[in-house]
Amino acid sequence: MEAKGNAPDGITPAELVRTEARALEALAERLDGASGLMAKDFGRAIELVVRCGEGRGRVVVTGMGKSGIIAQKIAATLSSTGSPALFLHPAEAVHGDLGVLMPGDVVIALSASGETEEILRLLATLKRKGDALISFCCNLGSTLAAASDVVLDCSVEREACGMNLAPTASTTAMLALGDALAVAVSLRKGFRAEDFAELHPGGKLGKKLKLVRELMHAGEAVPVVAASTAMTDVIYEMSRKKLGLTTVQQDRKLLGVISDGDLRRLLEREGGAALAMTAEQAMNRAPKTIAAGELAARALAVLEEKKITSLVVVDDAGRVEGVLHLHDLWGMELI
């Protein structure tokens, strides 16, 4: 009887994982720098995808069976990193779905054997309508490889399957190669964290990528006084707006800030005489500020570093746009 937790033929689960790890190591060696056997082809694939996006084309990823599942994930990763992509099911394609393919599109076809019948039936149309064909293939002498503009080698020493049959190590290699291509293209395009945030508005990831402008208090919620405002009115404004500070402005330009801490230290130092002062005399003339387009995570880092609870949000000209308070970040799962 087979031992519980072991794979057939006495191969342990750990060894199966190591088989896939060795497949990835071999793939990395083929990609590694100028000496990598596949480095030049991978570079051409990057160029094709980048050029496709510049011409408003899309990346169409196709594959059948297990390769098709990997193809769907690669299409999703490309889209989420700034390269519009979609999955085309090869069996459905011959029944009308080929209509999604437009001139200028780049096709990425996944097939371990390179002889997948459903994909081979599409080759003539793919070559005619698309801008270029990139294949992820384990058989470089296959029909698909021969028809491709760029062939990326996903071959593995063996599958992580006791019978060396089920697509395991090969599909892992395809997935890793697709991730590498998507990320390399995004880096080439200068894709930023702010761009990533725009494409991921939902879930925990979306919360972490919120921008300051989405969380700050703006408009009438911003406490504001003039430089000549008496201290009693300064305190009233701070209490009314409940953000632990007030901005001191002139024509929307930030002159300074008076915080609860500033007020407490002023009273300790000046006593009752502090109440006879103006906002200009009491304000901090060099408060910490942040731009509305910054990530909320960046704002939190500043708050923690400076041990303060609020940041004034200003534009490039120093005009006040809002106030971000530490409490505003609590619901973002950043704290």
Mean pLDDT along residues 278-298: 93
Mean pLDDT along residues 293-301: 88
Can you name the residues that pair with 270 across neighbouring β-strands? none
Q: What's the pLDDT at 331?
A: 63
Q: What's the pLDDT at 56?
A: 80
Q: What's the pLDDT at 75?
A: 97
Q: Output the average pLDDT for the chain.
A: 89
Q: Does domain 212-332 have CATH number 3.10.580.10?
A: yes
Q: Does residue 2 have a pLDDT over 50?
A: no
CB–CB of 274/283 below 8 Å? no
| Interatomic CA distance for residues 234 and 255, integer angstroms | 14
pLDDT in tens, 51-83: 987 878 899 999 999 999 999 999 999 998 989
| Interatomic CA distance for residues 332 and 309, integer angstroms | 16
Q: Give this prediction's pTM.
A: 0.66
Side-chain-side CA neighbours of 96 within 13 Å: the count stands at 0
**Which numeric CATH code is attached to 8-191?**
3.40.50.10490
Query: Can you say how many angstroms the Cα of residue 71 is from the centroid of all Cα atoms in its chain?
Result: 19
Q: What's the pLDDT at 203?
A: 59
pLDDT in tens, 7-33: 445 678 898 999 999 999 999 999 986
| Interatomic CA distance for residues 249 and 173, integer angstroms | 59
Q: Does residue 6 have a pLDDT over 60?
A: no
| Interatomic CA distance for residues 169 and 180, integer angstroms | 16
- For every residue of 138-166, DSSP letters joined together read S-TTSHHHHH-SEEEE---SS-SSTTS-S
pLDDT in tens, 213-267: 989 999 999 999 999 999 999 999 999 999 999 999 999 999 999 999 999 999 9
Q: What percent of the chain has pLDDT over 70?
A: 90
Q: What's the pLDDT at 4?
A: 44
Question: Across the chain, which distance is largest between two alpha carbons, in Å?
Answer: 91
Q: Does residue 201 have a pLDDT over 90?
A: no
CB–CB of 110/83 below 8 Å? no
List the chain domain ranges.
8-191, 212-332
Q: What's the pLDDT at 173?
A: 96
Name the 3-class secondary structure at 321.
strand
Residue reference for tokens 């990835």? 24
pLDDT in tens, 80-108: 898 999 999 999 998 889 889 988 899 99
AA letter at 284: N
AA letter at 108: I
Q: Does residue 150 have a pLDDT over 90?
A: yes
CB–CB of 28/133 below 8 Å? no
Q: How many CB atoms lie within 10 A of CB 57?
A: 21
| Interatomic CA distance for residues 142 and 117, integer angstroms | 12
Read off φ and ψ for residue 282, nearest 5 degrees: -105, -15
Q: Which residues contact 24 (CB under 8 A, 6 or more apart)?
A: 172, 173, 176
